[in-house]
Structures are given as structure tokens and as C-alpha cells.
Structure 1
Amino acid sequence: MGLLFTVAEVLISLLCIVLLGVLSAIVLEAYRRRHNHAHLEAPPVFEDPNSLKKVQCPSIHDPAEKYISLIVPAYNEEHRLPGAIDETMNYLQQRAAKDKSFSYEVIIVDDGSKDETARVAFNFVKKHTVDNVRVILLGRNHGKGEAIRKGMLHARGELLLMLDADGATKVNDLEKLENQIHVVARQDFHYGDSASNDSSFRISDIPIAAFGSRAHLEEKALATRKWYRNFLMKGFHLVVLLTAGSGIRDTQCGFKMFTRAAARKLFTNVRLKRWCFDVELVFLCKWFGIPMVEISVNWSEIPGSKVNMLSIPNMLWELALMSVGYRTRMWKIHC
């Protein structure tokens, strides 16, 4: 009996040491990220592969020059990127042909790819010009959240859409998000009401966020996924609920749209660099009082997903960082 107590004491001691170590690591990492260095980064340049001239990146703080910007993060996407960008450009060109006031840009952010993603991306710049397609090279892999943040900070659109490089969501679904943003702008901010707005007031001036959602597909997914995957996903959703609160059922869908005013507030503050930056966006929207709408989008499973079961520990790590960072006020939010 004495031996059992000794073993139990040792195990409990080891567990306490491990927990203390993890907690210390979380606090130290949260402290390390207490400053958001977005304002300290040297503005990158876009390279025009046709003229070899450098084009200075604009800033999210500059006035909008395009109606919409599409930000596509890409990591080792040489095979899936061409189909997604071709479909995207076809849609944008067709819409621009019908509506002369419609202007656009696509920003591909290469997140330190080890394959030919950069070459594929620059081929689209050559084909469509640097005014319509731009490439940002991060040099090394930072994570999807950082790639999107970088693209958002240097976009020119009144509306800014993030979408995945795999084409899982059809690009024309952006109209669903776009329409809902205009609905919220009219209802909550009286946008378009000539009696209450001057002619210089634009949709880019109104902070609104629209989240694409696959929540309507959840019942089918639960029926086809393995039980342990469902268990882990339910657990993750519970942690998200405790961390960021309710309001958005599907925080992880990679299809989101923001007005320029919303993107300026959100992406100059976001600190998480990988999968859970979406949850931080929800938290920041609530903190700033930015209206959020969740809209069902068409979505299909595309082979080659970067998310796997090993991503779960990293997600939990980031959620813990976020919780500690904001609850202890180590992470300051800049207005």
C-alpha cells in the first residue's frame, strides 16, 4: 500500500510539474507577443515580372483604390492554386465586363512555400498584370493567419475577401457575403440613405464582417466522420465558445469578407499566426462592436487539406495564448 501511495505521489508531482511548465510556456509566449509589430514592418514591394520594376505596397490606412481585394494564402499549393486562381479571375473579369465600376485585385501570399507556388503565382501576374494580381513572398512559413494578415494590410479594396487556395468554396459565393454587408450597412448605418449620408461616404468606411459558414453541412459531416474526429471537433468548438463567446457557429471557414474599416481595426491587432486567428477575429469583432453576419456558402472537400489531427494541439495552444494574452491585458488592443 505504501508503494502505491509513493507511486501516486510521484505521478501527481510529475503532472504538476508538467502543468506548471505548460502554463509558464503559455504566459511567456503570450508576453513575447504582447506587442503587435505590424506598424514597425518595412512596407514590402510587389515585383512586376514583366517590367521587373518594384511597385510599392499600399497600406490598409490608405484610401481604397479598388472595389474588392481577394487575399489568397498559399503554402505548397503549386498544384491546387492554378485551378482556383483561373476560376477566380474568370469570375472577376466577367463581372467587370458587365459592370464598368467594378474593380478588383487578387493578392496571393506565398507563405514560405518549398515547391513552385511562387513561380505559379507570378505566372498569373504576367498574364493579368501587376495591377490586378499581386504576389507577396513571406520568405519563410509563418502560418495561414500571418499570410492573410499580411495580405489584408497591403490590400486596396473597399471590401476585402479572404479565401483558400484550394477552391473549396466557389468564388461567386462572395456575392452572398457582399450583399449581406450592404444589407447591414443600410439597416444599422443607413448607408445609401441620401438624407443621412454625404456623397463621400463609402461602404469601406463602415466596419462590418461577414463570415462564410459550413454549419449547414454539419449534420452530414457528423454522419460521415469517424467518432473520434467528431469528439475532438465538438471539444474544439466548446473551447472556442469559452474563449471567444457565441455568435459565429463556424469560425474556421476560410471564406470571410471585411469592409476596409473593419479590416483596419482587426488585422492591425491580430496576433495569432496559424489556424486559430479566425477565433481571434471573432473576439476582436466583439471587442470593437463590429457587426458580424454568418452566411451559408457552398463548400466541398478538396484533397490535400493542410488541417489534420496534429493541428488540434496547435489550435489549443493558440487558444490558450489568446485567452492568457487578453485576460491578463498583456495584449493591448489598438484602436
Structure 2
Amino acid sequence: MHSIERTAVSDAFFEDPGSLKKVPCPSIFDPAEKYISLIVPAYNEECRLPEALTETLNYLKQRSSADKSFTYEVLIVDDGSTDRTSKVAFEYVKKHNIDNVRVLLLGRNHGKGEAVRKGMLHSRGQLLLMLDADGATKVTDLAKLEAEVLALAGKALSASSSQMLSDVEIAVFGSRAHLEKQALATRKWYRNFLMKGFHLVVLLTAGPGIRDTQCG
């Protein structure tokens, strides 16, 4: 499987709007070059994307300035948008350079799951984070997820010769479960019924401890 994915990745390129050159896409199976990669799946998000990207990049730049080991990239995956999503995204590449912001064009709409998967496969970070393009989840909450990852990874890394977080298989999820009562009060009854049914399926398939698989 790894050889198949590597071939697919090696044949793809990012376009640099600044130099008009093509930059080969990395593979997730290569050694990590960044501390963290933020994958932003986007479908027709030209209106909401600027606010989310500006807030996210300001936060990342502040952390990078305070800690030189905090290196990052933002990978915007345009999932076949029919609006100006890609144009908006490329403006951020021009402003922040292609080493920090990249745009992956899927050509046609594949769905959010595939957009996230493609973004993960082309990432360079030790940590990979999916962040929604609508800004519903604030990037300032990243530190909470990091704390959980580092706590879980500590034991595994201490028992091995590696110091790379990317060598430890760990996944953590954000959750809006604490807002459930408020959400139930504002949704239609049939949405609540479908939501509860979906949550039951998630509980049975995802395992204990994972209550919200849809939160960025």
C-alpha cells in the first residue's frame, strides 16, 4: 500500500503563484520537515475562508516567533470548488510563501473525507491537524490537543530510541459535546433524531471515548 500511495504523491505538484514553478508534493511516508501541518478541506468557501486563514496564520506566526522549533504549514485542499475558493487560497500562498501555505486542487468534488485524506498524504508535519474552513473551531484551542498528544506520546517515546512524534500512532479529537443541550434546543426534531442515530453508530464503530468524529 505504501508504494502505491508514494507513486501517487510523487506524480503530483503544488503550483507556486509567486514564481510560477511547480513544487513536488511530499509524501506522508517521508521524514517530517515541519512540526505541524494544518489541513483545511474547502468546498465553495471563498467567503468564509479569508477570516479563518487570517486568524489561523496570525496564531501560527505568533507561536513560531516565540518558539523557533514551532514550524508549520497550512495545506488548503480545494475539493473541486465552483467559486473563487482557489483564488482566495492562492492569495495567501503569495502573502506567506509556498513553504508555509500550499493549495492542493482536486479538480472535482470528492467529498470532505477524501479531501482530508489527500491533505494528510501530502503533509510534512510531525503532527497533522484537520481544521474546518468555516472557522467553527478556533485554532487557539490547538494547545489543548497538543497537550493530550504529548501526554499520550510521552510513554511511547521514552520506551523507544525515536524522538519524533510522527513515529507514534496517536489520534485526538476536539468535541462540542458540552454544547449539546443548546444545540438540541435549536434543531428540528428530525435532525435531533438523525443525529442521535448517527452518534449511536459512531459509538458502536469508533469505540469508547470518541463521541464526536465530525468536529474539526
The residue identity in structure 1 corresponding to 2:66 is K
For 1:151, the equivalent position in structure 2 comes to 119
Partner of 2:55, secondary structure, is: helix
The residue identity in structure 1 corresponding to 2:76 is I
Answer yes or no: is 1:47 the counterpart of 2:15.
yes
For 2:56, the equivalent position in structure 1 comes to 88
Using the TM superposition, give the Cα deviation of residue 109 of structure 1 relative to its aligned residue in structure 2, in angstroms: 0.4
Using the TM superposition, give the Cα deviation of residue 101 of structure 1 relative to its aligned residue in structure 2, in angstroms: 1.2
Using the TM superposition, give the Cα deviation of residue 39 of structure 1 relative to its aligned residue in structure 2, in angstroms: 5.1
* Partners of 2:201 and 2:149 in 1: CA distance: 28
Using the TM superposition, give the Cα deviation of residue 213 of structure 1 relative to its aligned residue in structure 2, in angstroms: 0.7
Answer yes or no: is 1:171 the counterpart of 2:139.
yes
Match runs of 1:35-184 below 5 Å: 38=5, 41=8, 43-184=11-152
* Partners of 1:68 and 1:219 in 2: CA distance: 33
Answer yes or no: is 1:238 the counterpart of 2:175.
no
Using the TM superposition, give the Cα deviation of residue 252 of structure 1 relative to its aligned residue in structure 2, in angstroms: 1.4
Structure 1 range deviating more: 69-78 or 232-241: 232-241
For 1:300, the equivalent position in structure 2 comes to none
* Partners of 1:52 and 1:112 in 2: CA distance: 21
* Partners of 1:242 and 1:172 in 2: CA distance: 31
For 2:167, the equivalent position in structure 1 comes to 205
Q: Larger Rg: 1 or 2?
A: 1
Identity %: 71
* Partners of 2:139 and 2:190 in 1: CA distance: 32
* CA deviation map 1:295-324 (0-9, x unaligned): xxxxxxxxxxxxxxxxxxxxxxxxxxxxxx
Q: 186, 190, 195: which is aligned to 1:224?
A: 186
Using the TM superposition, give the Cα deviation of residue 230 of structure 1 relative to its aligned residue in structure 2, in angstroms: 1.1
The residue identity in structure 1 corresponding to 2:150 is H
Structure 1 range deviating more: 152-161 or 234-243: 234-243
* Partners of 1:206 and 1:40 in 2: CA distance: 24
Using the TM superposition, give the Cα deviation of residue 120 of structure 1 relative to its aligned residue in structure 2, in angstroms: 0.4
Partner of 1:41, secondary structure, is: helix
CA contact (8 A) 2:33 2:124 kept: yes
Q: How many residues align?
A: 212
For structure 2, the 5+ residue unaligned runs are none
* Partners of 1:53 and 1:64 in 2: CA distance: 23
Partner of 1:109, secondary structure, is: strand
* Partners of 1:151 and 1:243 in 2: CA distance: 24
Partner of 2:54, secondary structure, is: helix
Using the TM superposition, give the Cα deviation of residue 40 of structure 1 relative to its aligned residue in structure 2, in angstroms: 5.3
For structure 1, the 5+ residue unaligned runs are 1-36, 256-335
Using the TM superposition, give the Cα deviation of residue 236 of structure 1 relative to its aligned residue in structure 2, in angstroms: 1.6
TM-score normalised to the size of structure 1?
0.61
Partner of 1:135, secondary structure, is: strand
Using the TM superposition, give the Cα deviation of residue 244 of structure 1 relative to its aligned residue in structure 2, in angstroms: 3.6
